[in-house]
Chain A
Amino acid sequence: MNNLAYIYKLWIEIAQESGTLTTSDVLLAAKRLVEGHSDADISLSIDEFDEFAKNISLEELIAYLNKLTTSKKYIILINLFMVIMLKNIHNEKVSKKQITALKEIYIKLNLPYLYDILSLLMQKKYEKAHTVIAKNVPNIDFICFDQHAKSELNQSFEHYQVSFIILHIDDFFLLLNHKSQALHIYSYKNEKNLSLYEKCQEFKEESFAFVNHKVRDHSIYYLNEESFLRITNDKEVIYLDTDVLRKLFSQETQTQFLVSEIIHQDKNIFNCSIVKDHIYKIEANDLYAGYSKRNTIIKNVNFKIHEGELVAIMGPSGSGKTTLLRTFVKQAKKLQGELLINDEQVSQKYFHRMGYVPQDDVLIKDLNVYDNMYYYYRLHFGKKESDANVDKLISKQLRNLGIIDIKYSPIFAQGKYTISGGQRKRLNIALELLKDVDLILMDEPTSGLSSLDSENIISELKQITHMNKIIIINIHQPSASMYKEFDKVIVFNEDGNNIYTNTAKEVLNIFKLVKTEDTYMFNDRRADLEGGDPELLLEIQAEEKSTFWNLFSYLNNFTEK
């Protein structure tokens, strides 16, 4: 996904088909884009999207957009919001000041032409829009590799948070954008790019020989010419899914070695950031874990989690929620089955990409907030950055989490905490963000907090997942609004059996299905359940605990059917 040219193309097509561009049309375009390219999700339904568009003010929207990262994934959403905003502008005749603010946002996002394109689409000037797209869009994805374009390259890296450069040869280069999980193969000659996801499937089983070839002044590595042509002969630009690429690469250890060598080389040349062992997928298959064979706590656990997801582990006290988290960091033993990270067994190799925040405070009470963070950074990264830069990093993380005002506050003084429970939880999160981990495991992040603080924490965690991170939390009794933030839920019963794993939305949808199923279990609550109200789920949990957990068992069975 993330091919802007493609989304624009779809917009034009749909706009032409329907004669006008509505919110639903835009959403449809986005959905087509998503379905056509990956299993990623756009989190708003059509109704929610329209509701959002209707209620949000321009100022709120601008504030919201300013918060978003500039990674490509969010550019899609940003674009969708832009359309809605333009609609509002069109209908409400907003002030020049607001339009100026809007343009400033586009400039900040490095997409100054977007305003023109969308304005033209709204005015049904499709041909002209197409010309502007043709003129501008390739530049979004295209990164020149020549030495004279170094400044442009650096700018692009900053913009897209590019992590890896794979290879480049005469007229082509391959680029793995680690953050967006996609590999691009680009042509210098042709500036037209297309998405060919289906085509990529054909290459899954292919084995490519890599050849060391000397071009210009440094070594490069490339697919053998025949294979390469098979990818590129009919279409100038290929858009590969990273999973496909990883499968290709994993076929030969030698290849992996070459790739890391190139990464190293390109780091020196282009000064780009490199993320090693980035965690993008977690999977458990029939996992049993505990502290000894006689003390098996969790049983038959199955789940699959991708980056960008906020996952809640739910279940009654003593059901093994913490044990699952501890299994990741080897504080509990895997007794049977598989626990995989990036298709490999969990190992210490990935520990530096993980952050585990236990339920108890792990802050140093005798240091203030700043010193806690400063030494945490220094112990992990040494003298990599100057004190001034570390200070900036700390301020950035504290600001993101809304606790910048306690930067120099002591944590504990005169026998009591001087910062609140919520602030301590946020500080713990900030420590992990400072380390820039991919996987954050949090044990009961909302315990001991007020409902408002809990909701804020969950909402902030959700925001953090937008930075391509996976966050897994243990939670005992989430409120309905917190529940809505979860992408997936993993549910355990009292015996530690994993009775349900699915998307959080699916649980809510199941209420609607209950009315069509003949289940004795819910006879007494059928009328309530048919409403599909998420609050009810929590209500049942509070009132009838056994019914609640049975509900999940039922859902699991239902899903299997």
Chain B
Amino acid sequence: MFNNPITTQIHYQLKRQFKIKSYEKLNLIVSFFIAPLLSFLSTYIFRANDDLVQNSSYPNYLFFMLISAIFFGLISSVFEVIKDKNMVQRESLGGVSIFGYYLSKYYVLSFFGLIQTLLYNLVGMIFLHIPWALVAFNSLVMFFVIVVSISFGLFVSSFARNSMIASNLIPVLIIPQILLGGLIPYQDMDTSIYMWEDNFNKAPPIARIMPIKYAYEAIITGNVIFTTGNKEVNDQIAQMVDYLQDNQFMSMQTETFLSHFGVEYLSNTWLINLLIIFGFIVMTFILGYTLFYRRIFNA
């Protein structure tokens, strides 16, 4: 082979990916415009009260933010690998690393996802008067969701044979997340969704494979933790936790696992949930890359 180190390859792959994005100016503008626009729309709808403390719709705003994040991540990534397949196939003959390509795709999409996250939360901060500490935390969770969606998107892109199949798969990935993400109480749903489980006091198995469930749990519990110094805000958000607990939303596994070690349930739940999302990211990255690698060499 050409003995070109993988680090150098990643360097040039990143440069190339950024250059490609910079050529797609209109796309870029639209994607950066969409984030604050959706944020503005959600703040308009979910601003039940100008004072965040009194705003009972705040959890809905957070949920909508996570759903938007899934959209951003999936839409930006689901067509990426398909369109480059022939090119990667050709370059791989000359020893260009497929891993380098896949990783650089990940990096670049995540970078643009980060910008969208910041724009989204900036608008939220302005219109809902969210304290900066919460904005930072909300941005972190939203970014995690965007990355996990990119991961899913690239996986689908590696899996689908053409763009049409990939675009048809987008609703399949999004709608269940909306339904089972936790905003709609599980007890309002048919008990058959619990499948083999007979304990209806926790999230059904199918919901436990939805990254957004963990993200929503993380963002809600995190909002409580990061406002402990502000009693008024904290009380308001604590009500959300009660609401969620009433709806058997919290991860029973997390609760049980932590209670063994005498750890307060709430204080670490956000972190545990983010780690679970990180697990999703790693897992889908490995699966997506493996699938893509096989597609390149067994096409």
Closest partner residue, chain A, to B2 (CB atom)? A380
A360 to B83: give the CA distance in the assembly, Å.
11
Could you say which of B4-12, B143-151, B152-160, B177-185 contacts chain A?
B4-12
Contact B23 A366 (CB under 8 A): yes
Contact A352 B2 (CB under 8 A): yes
Contact B90 A356 (CB under 8 A): yes
**Minimum C-beta distance from B124 to chain A (A):** 32
Is there a chain A Cβ closer than 8 Å to B95's Cβ?
yes
B95 / chain A contacts, CB cutoff of 8 Å: 351-352, 380
Is there a chain B Cβ closer than 8 Å to A379's Cβ?
yes
Could you say which of A202-210, A370-378, A550-558 contacts chain B?
A370-378
Contact A364 B87 (CB under 8 A): yes
**Minimum C-beta distance from A59 to chain B (A):** 40
**Minimum C-beta distance from B189 to chain A (A):** 44
**Minimum C-beta distance from B24 to chain A (A):** 6
**Minimum C-beta distance from B185 to chain A (A):** 45
Contact B9 A367 (CB under 8 A): no
Could you say which of B13-21, B63-71, B162-170, B245-253 contacts chain A?
B13-21
Contact A382 B5 (CB under 8 A): yes
Contact A379 B4 (CB under 8 A): yes
**Minimum C-beta distance from B101 to chain A (A):** 9
Contact A358 B90 (CB under 8 A): yes
A410 to B89: give the CA distance in the assembly, Å.
23
* A330-B12 contact, Cβ under 8 Å, with A362-B87, A379-B91: no
For B99-137 the 0/1 string (1 means CB < 8 A from A) is 000000000000000000000000000000000000000
B8 / chain A contacts, CB cutoff of 8 Å: 382-383
Contact B16 A367 (CB under 8 A): yes
How many chain A residues touch B (CB < 8 A): the figure is 30
**Minimum C-beta distance from A216 to chain B (A):** 31
Counting chain A CB atoms within 10 Å of each CB, the highest count among B23, B84, B299 belongs to B23
Contact B96 A354 (CB under 8 A): no
* A367-B94 contact, Cβ under 8 Å, with A360-B86, A382-B8: no
B13 / chain A contacts, CB cutoff of 8 Å: 379
**Minimum C-beta distance from A472 to chain B (A):** 14
**Minimum C-beta distance from A375 to chain B (A):** 4
Contact A366 B86 (CB under 8 A): no
Is there a chain B Cβ closer than 8 Å to A103's Cβ?
no
Closest partner residue, chain B, to A328 (CB atom)? B93
Is there a chain A Cβ closer than 8 Å to B1's Cβ?
yes
Counting chain A CB atoms within 10 Å of each CB, the highest count among B9, B16, B87 belongs to B16
Is there a chain B Cβ closer than 8 Å to A435's Cβ?
yes
* A380-B4 contact, Cβ under 8 Å, with A352-B93, A367-B20: yes
Is there a chain B Cβ closer than 8 Å to A331's Cβ?
yes
B93 / chain A contacts, CB cutoff of 8 Å: 329, 351-352, 354-356
* A379-B86 contact, Cβ under 8 Å, with A331-B299, A351-B93, A366-B20: no
A380 / chain B contacts, CB cutoff of 8 Å: 2, 4, 91, 94-96
Choice from A357, A381, A410 contacting B4 with Cβ under 8 Å: A381
A410 to B25: give the CA distance in the assembly, Å.
14
Contact A357 B90 (CB under 8 A): yes
A379 to B11: give the CA distance in the assembly, Å.
9
Contact A366 B24 (CB under 8 A): yes
For B70-96 the 0/1 string (1 means CB < 8 A from A) is 000000000000001011011101111
A437 / chain B contacts, CB cutoff of 8 Å: 94
Contact A379 B20 (CB under 8 A): no
A436 to B12: give the CA distance in the assembly, Å.
20
B20 / chain A contacts, CB cutoff of 8 Å: 364, 366-367
Is there a chain A Cβ closer than 8 Å to B261's Cβ?
no
**Minimum C-beta distance from B27 to chain A (A):** 9
**Minimum C-beta distance from A361 to chain B (A):** 8
Is there a chain A Cβ closer than 8 Å to B297's Cβ?
yes
A379 / chain B contacts, CB cutoff of 8 Å: 4, 9, 12-13, 16, 91, 94, 96
The 25 listed contacts between A and B (C-beta, < 8 Å) are A331-B299, A351-B93, A351-B95, A352-B1, A352-B2, A352-B93, A352-B94, A364-B20, A366-B23, A366-B24, A367-B19, A368-B23, A371-B16, A371-B19, A375-B12, A375-B15, A376-B91, A378-B12, A379-B4, A379-B13, A379-B91, A380-B4, A382-B4, A382-B8, A382-B12
Inter-chain pairs besides A331-B299, A379-B16, A380-B2, 16 sampled, C-beta below 8 Å: A331-B89, A357-B90, A360-B86, A364-B84, A366-B24, A367-B23, A368-B23, A371-B16, A378-B12, A379-B9, A379-B96, A380-B4, A380-B91, A380-B94, A380-B96, A410-B23
Question: Which residues of B are interface residues toward A (Cβ below 8 A)?
Answer: 1-2, 4-5, 8-9, 12-13, 15-16, 19-20, 23-24, 84, 86-87, 89-91, 93-96, 297-299
The 6 closest A-B pairs by CB, nearest first: A382-B4, A382-B8, A375-B16, A378-B12, A366-B23, A366-B20
